[in-house]
Chain A
Amino acid sequence: MAEKLLEVNDLKVSFFTYAGEVQAVRGVSFHVNKGETLAIVGESGCGKSVTVHSLMRLIPSPPGKIKEGSIIFDGIDIISLSEKQMNEVRGSKMGMIFQDPMTSLNPTMTISQQIMEGIMRHKDVSKKEAFEEAIRILELVEIPNARKRANNYPHQFSGGMRQRVMIAIAIACNPMLLIADEPTTALDVTIQAQIIDLMKAIQKKMNTSIILITHDLGVVADIADRVNVMYAGEIVESGTLNEIFYDPYHPYTWGLLESVPRLDMAEDKPLVPIPGTPPDLLDPPKGCPFADRCKYAMVICKEQHPEMTSCSKTHKVSCWLTHPDAPKVERPLGGMKIE
């Protein structure tokens, strides 16, 4: 089957603050195949951002630290690389798009300079060739009048255009993996769809793998092949797009799906928010982290952490409800058909 490009095993990342150790990522394992899109979803502060920043070793340290686990990317052990070796990977094999295009571009450098910088770092080209390459990429991300606008400064661009420039910077060296950390969150709804379409087009053209972080399930449905659902620094459920959207097992996934409006929903059915707040990762609970907010919680949920269970070849979940002795519960999202 598909070839694995990235494999993460039991990754643990902590931040050491005055109050103690905040365990932001607590043993996360997943993989990304070549040419596919993996979406990581979850509410704010669940550790999705920290996870992908670790992949590029961009965790501010101190206070952050990758404590345990392995990250194997294209056959390389990322964690064991020296900072110098890591710089060879960053920008050339992995590119990253950040959440806020308004603050992610250097205000005192022109657009072309910022794109050329990466090209000249990783490819043996002259300044002129790098400039032509930058223009080509700006055209690829559909910046109108690319040649003219290349010498503009970021403040002369709109938010959507700046995000296109960010994408241009990230893909400048043809990376195998594109990491997008909430690329549409800061944009207008109309622009969001354009950016997602652009990412899809680029993926098709360049056969790039994409890791997309978002809390917008609409975006996920639009682009993802597989989905990881994260909660309190753990992956609680992972599977293909269809498995997560139409056959979810974890009550947290149910909650996420129930809290978004959908076209196939009865008109009078209210949206259901997930009550409560996530646990404080300074002192994570020893049982299931979602137990306190879970309608279906059992005695065991608070006492013992559930193990990852496979529901299908591609579908895994970490929940006590999958235990044979657990009571059968009716899923709130029953009866939905796959398109």
Chain B
Amino acid sequence: MSAIELEKFKPIGMDIEDSERITRPSLTYWQDAWRRLKMNKLAMVSLYVLIGIVIMAIIGPYLRPYTFDEQDYMEIFSPPSKDHWFGTDDLGRDLFVRVWMGARVSLRIGFFAALIDIVVGMIYGGISGYFGGRTDDIMMRIVDILYGIPYMIIVILLMILMEPGELTLIIAMSITGWVGTARLVRGQVLQLKNQEFVLAAKTLGASPWRIITKHMFPNILGIMIVQMTMDIPGAIFSEAFLSYIGLGIKLPNASWGSLASDGIKQVVERPWMLIFPAVMISLTMLSFNILGDGLRDALDPKLRN
């Protein structure tokens, strides 16, 4: 340990700034989530697929010189060709146009049903969790009962009761769909309620409305986005199911579900009638599911490292 110059032993004291130098770049919650989502290749591919499907739903029907309900008796059941990219159905309607018109209907139903679920669920769960006590007891008892009622049966009853159509589908699906969201939100609010920053806001005299909207909802937003990516495919799934048992969209309108259920009946002779709508449904569901999983991982504060 010899041969060290004496001046090296000159005291320099401590250097706190240097010790507290932050070596990792600082990111906001959303920047960090986005960074981690981008690292998940599969989730990003899903996101692009979904964007592609939405764009096609908007422009797709205009790419071909047919309308969705234009019948051509000379072209019944023709397989995919350069005139009819996805083939035609039993009335000679062009399936390419019908699939993208169906995309509009299916995506609209999925989006609005999920949106209503989230909004109602957040309000209901937020109130129940925030006020607690008696209010919470009664509100959660109601939720328990609704949860015990088979969802699909309620939907079927309502579909019989109301005029068939897109709006009815959305209402029927969201009438019990919000229950899960409400439970989730309540659980989150119960947790947040006792955290210091909420107590601090309360001490400063913030109103319940302000605390719920300004302090709690931003913290629940991540979970809600994940919930939404899971709810949308759920609603598309239900719509396809209802179309299959004859309670969906009425002709000549089409949804992916109704197209696929028409296709099932012809699957042996004319497989293209099933394959195109089936691929669309599956691809959309797949993308939403993978994206939802990716978002959940990206938004989970426990996984930040």
Which residues from chain A sit less than 8 Å from chain B, CB to CB?
Answer: 17-19, 275-280, 282-283, 291-304, 307, 320, 323, 325-327
14 contacts between A and B (CB under 8 A): A17-B305, A280-B24, A282-B23, A292-B15, A292-B18, A295-B13, A297-B13, A297-B14, A298-B11, A299-B7, A299-B9, A300-B4, A301-B12, A303-B8
- Give bound CA distance, A22 to B18, whole Å: 19
Q: Is B153 an interface residue (CB 8 A)?
A: no
Tell me how far the C-beta of B165 lies from the nearest C-beta in chain A, rounded to whole angstroms: 49
Taking A18-B305, A276-B20, A283-B23 as given, write out 18 further A-B residue pairs in contact, using a Cβ cutoff of 8 Å, ordered by the A residue number: A18-B39, A275-B14, A276-B14, A277-B19, A278-B19, A279-B19, A282-B23, A282-B24, A291-B15, A292-B15, A292-B16, A292-B19, A293-B19, A295-B13, A299-B7, A300-B9, A320-B9, A327-B9
Instruction: Among A277, A283, A295, A320, point to the contact of B14 (Cβ < 8 A).
Output: A295
Give the residue of B1, B6, B14, B305 whose beta carbon is less than 8 angstroms from that of A294. B14
Residue interface mask B7-49, A partner, CB < 8 A = 1: 1111111111011100110000000000000010000000000
Q: A298-B11, A298-B12, A307-B1 are in contact. Are A325 and B6 (CB under 8 A)?
A: yes
Chain B residues lying within 8 Å of A298, measured Cβ to Cβ, are 8-12
Residue of A nearest to B10 (CB): A299
Task: Name which residue of chain A comes closest to B11, CB basis.
Answer: A298
B45 to chain A, nearest CB (A): 20
B residues within 8 A CB of A291?
15
Complex CA distance for A292 and B17, rounded to whole angstroms: 8
Q: Is the CB of B11 within 8 A of A296?
A: yes
Within the complex, what minimum Cβ distance (angstroms) separates A116 from chain B? 34
Residue of A nearest to B22 (CB): A280
Q: Could you tell me which B residues sit within 8 Å of A by CB distance?
A: 1, 4, 6-16, 18-20, 23-24, 39, 305
Q: How far is the CA of A121 from the CA of B16 in the complex (A)?
A: 52
Measured in the bound complex, the distance between the Cα atoms of B16 and A19 in whole Å is 24
| Chain A residues positioned under 8 Å from B13 (CB to CB) | 295-297
Give bound CA distance, A292 to B13, whole Å: 8
Whole-angstrom distance from the CB of A299 to the nearest CB of chain B? 5
B2 to chain A, nearest CB (A): 9
Min distance, Cβ A291 to any Cβ of chain B, angstroms: 8
- B126 CB to nearest chain A CB (Å): 30
Q: In the assembled complex, how far is the CB of residue B216 from the closest CB belonging to chain A, in whole angstroms?
A: 28
Complexed CA–CA distance, A298 and B9 (Å): 5
Chain A residues whose CB sits within 8 angstroms of the CB of B19 once the complex forms: 275-279, 292-293
CB distance from B34 to the nearest CB of A (A): 15
The 8 Å CB contact of A276, one of B9, B16, B24, is B16
The answer on a CB contact under 8 Å between B16 and A325 is no
Given A17-B305, A280-B24, A326-B9, A275 contacting B15 (CB threshold 8 A): no
A300 to B9, CA, bound (A): 6
CB proximity of B43 to chain A, nearest CB, Å? 16
Among all A-B residue pairs, the 3 with the closest Cβ atoms: A292-B19, A276-B19, A300-B8
